[in-house]
Chains A and B, each alone.
Chain A
Amino acid sequence: MSKKPTAKEATTTAAIDHAQAPVNARLTPEERIELFRKMVRIRRFEERSLRAYQAKKIGGFLHLYIGQEAVAVGCCSLMGPHDHVITAYRDHGHAIAVGMDTKPLMAELYGKATGCSKGKGGSMHYFDPSRNFWGGHGIVGGQIPLGAGLAYALKYKGLKGAAMAFMGDGAVNQGAVHEAYNLASLWNLPVVFVIENNGYSMGTSQARSSAGELAQRAAGYDMQWGQCNGHDVYEVRAMMDKFLTLARETGKPSTVEIDTYRYRGHSVADPDNTYRSKQEIEEYRRTRDPIQLFQDKLLAEGVLTPALAEQIDTEARAEADVAADFSEASPFPTPADIQTDVYWEADNPSERRSQGRLFFT
């Protein structure tokens, strides 16, 4: 039933060498290595978090990004000071891509007070406004109007920037997404709607869930749109640079559908044995792994050496272990912490203007 083309069917000879796109051609060797390093760090972080989950250190859901790393890293590597990011619950990759430290990220999964949301949000709810990262949202498509709202604020304040509002392919059928499309186009809001199309909305393939082409729906809202291969970080950057520039320079929104693939189930609760074959997953791993492909490119460019690649991987594994150790050693929040961070006024009592009871028993 899968509409997702298998790796064999997909075109593997890129018509354009995206490394030559200006946004990539001007990258220094150090910057290229940093892109590679971020992707490796995301993967090792997530693999480590899965082990922690299996060891029952982590509760709830864990939606792994493994296989999709080039999307978040490629997109977020283009961020300027007034560019903003918001995404759904598969958010670990974006958090690392915008520069969040992996220790508080892992600690959040462990439910510890040292977590990035003090153990109050969990895996699906990472935030770091200081890095223009606005979550981390649990309801499919619910974050997309917020992304348009970030763009609204940029426009209102006259700032030259863009918001990137990420969603999965399953989100495109939610009403909130379409309402946001309409408002963004009607009001010329500088937002790029990014569909990370991994082929499956949970366990339902694109063919079984969505009529027509996903990105093309933007045309109905008079928005420009594009599609690209998300297994190649250079291609992601080339495509996103075009639409981020459009947003920053003209205020126009757009929709970009990035073809990608997740190796793991929808979440750890997904046994992943009902809707796709092991062979399909293996084929992607073998032929289209974004980290392997980029490593091969950088080796060919002479930017990376096998020894350096090995070193980066070793360091990423060590970093993930350090994050896990940090989390292990960190304290849980206390029951008294349950009722902080609910109201701004309660957290800032000297500036409170209202009276009366805010909490009830």
Chain B
Amino acid sequence: MPVITYREAVRHALAEELERDPNVVVMGEEVAQFNGAYKVTEGLLARFGPQRIVDTPISEAGFIGVGIGASMLGIRPVMELMFWSFYSVAFDQILNNAANVRYMSGGQIHCPIVIRGPANGGTNVGATHSHTPENVLANHPGVKVVVPSTPADAKGLLKSAIRDNDPVFFLENTMLYGEKGEVPAGEHVVPLGLADVKRAGTDLTIVTYGRSVLHSLAAAEVLEREHKISTEVLDLRTIRPLDFDSVLKSVAKTHRVLIVEEQKPFASVGSQLAYMIQREAFDELDGPIHRLATVDAPAIYSPPVEVEQLPNPRRVLQAALETLA
């Protein structure tokens, strides 16, 4: 199976869907002539031309709104946000218009738009560029939220997202763009709302998603090797819809749960998960649910300290041992 980077996997998904459906348009800042701020869209302009690969001005409310309007008439825009952090200047378009138009029209309209881009900390760019808004987005019924952790998932989930008739918000990670992994060539589609056991185990379940999956897998290695603890790492992949059956299945197996998320703790994805687990699997739990989140402050710039603000293998390991204590 070909080994490619996460960045290439996203690009392959875009190219294959552009090839498959003439209504797919890629639009965003620097996606065409510049070849992508993070080179995700490199080469697409040369291959598909300026009608399909469209550079926009720095004008997120404007161009996201244009994409939403175009999607109501049957175009399938895949909008790139250079950083998901910039969603705040297009909040009304994304979460009033895209999220609500189907409902407010009594189901007469659907909005098949994808908004994608990186949403992560860890790159020393300070608080304005380090937002992880998956909890904010998923708080809006009508939208779907995807956070892939591996190249194969990035490709397969993006293809599903582009084919989906609801608005899908696809959160990538600049720290993952260079990560490599095996990705099936050609048609490889991963359905939204299906979690994946990235490592099987029997003593502890780590429920996680995005880059925190990698940290959790690294910690699981140490737990196995140094502490003889068998850890199951469950990658949610999609936040909404949520594959909660897989969470329940894993909890029933291990009876101990740690949630790891690159999220500020207040009203996070983990908060929702913890509520649901205690509500639906109370009798399966042998101890309180633990959670490891981003340390609760705006993203710090200082490079070595930012590492300690975010989940990392050392912090996951410590949290896992506390969960089992």
Chain A interfacial positions (CB closer than 8 Å to B): 84, 86, 115-121, 125, 127-130, 134-139, 142-154, 156-157, 175-176, 179-180, 182-183, 186, 340-345, 347-348, 353-360
Contact = CB atoms under 8 A, between A and B. Distances in A.
B68 A145 contact: yes
Given A129-B108, A153-B74, A360-B272, A137 B97 contact: yes
B297 to A, nearest CB: 28
Contact of A127 (B51, B67, B109): B109
A342 B243 contact: no
B127 interface: no
* Size bin of chain B's contact surface: 35 or more
B106 A344 contact: no
Contact of B69 (A128, A138, A149): A149
B104 A176 contact: no
B93 A145 contact: yes
A135 B101 contact: yes
Contacts of B195: 356
B192 to A, nearest CB: 4
B5 to A, nearest CB: 26
Contacts of A137: 97
Contacts, number: 193
B105 A127 contact: yes
A18 to B, nearest CB: 31
Contacts of B194: 354-356
Given A150-B69, A150-B73, A153-B74, 14 more contacts: A118-B107, A145-B68, A152-B75, A182-B62, A183-B56, A183-B63, A342-B141, A343-B144, A347-B107, A354-B160, A354-B164, A355-B193, A359-B141, A360-B272
Interface stretch (B148-156, B179-187, B234-242, B252-260): B234-242
Interface of B: 25, 51, 56-57, 59, 61-75, 92-93, 96-97, 101-110, 141-142, 144, 160, 163-166, 191-195, 238, 240-245, 272, 276
A329 B69 CA distance: 35
Contacts of B142: 342-343
Nearest to B240: A358
Given A142-B93, A180-B65, A356 B243 contact: yes
Contacts of A186: 57
A261 B141 CA distance: 38
B164 A353 contact: yes
Nearest to A129: B108
A341 B142 CA distance: 9
Nearest to B62: A179
Contact of A353 (B75, B92, B163, B244): B163
B62 A183 contact: yes
A355 B191 contact: yes
Contact of A176 (B71, B92, B192, B243): B92
B104 A120 contact: yes
Nearest to A144: B65
Contacts of B243: 355-357
B106 A127 contact: yes
Nearest to A163: B69
Nearest to A337: B106
Nearest to A183: B62
Contact of A183 (B57, B160, B242): B57
Given A120-B106, A183-B63, A342-B141, A146 B166 contact: no
Contacts of A118: 106-107
Contacts of B25: 156
From B73, B142, B144, B192, residue with most partner A Cβ within 10 Å: B73
A292 to B, nearest CB: 35
A356 B70 contact: no
A146 B142 CA distance: 18
Contacts of B144: 343, 354
A180 B72 contact: no
Contacts of B103: 120-121, 341-342
Contacts of A154: 73
Contacts of A129: 72, 105, 108-109
CB-CB nearest 4 A-B residue pairs: A149-B69, A145-B65, A179-B62, A356-B193
Which among B51, B144, B272 has the greatest number of chain A C-beta atoms within 10 A? B144
Of B106, B238, B272, most buried by chain A (CB within 10 Å of CB) is B106
Contacts of A354: 144, 160, 164, 191-194, 238, 241
A143 B93 CA distance: 8
A344 B92 CA distance: 21
Nearest to B69: A149
B65 A146 contact: yes
B59 A150 contact: no
B61 A179 contact: yes
B112 to A, nearest CB: 8
Which of B51, B68, B93 is the most central at the interface, judged by chain A CB atoms within 10 Å of its CB? Answer: B93
A355 B241 contact: yes
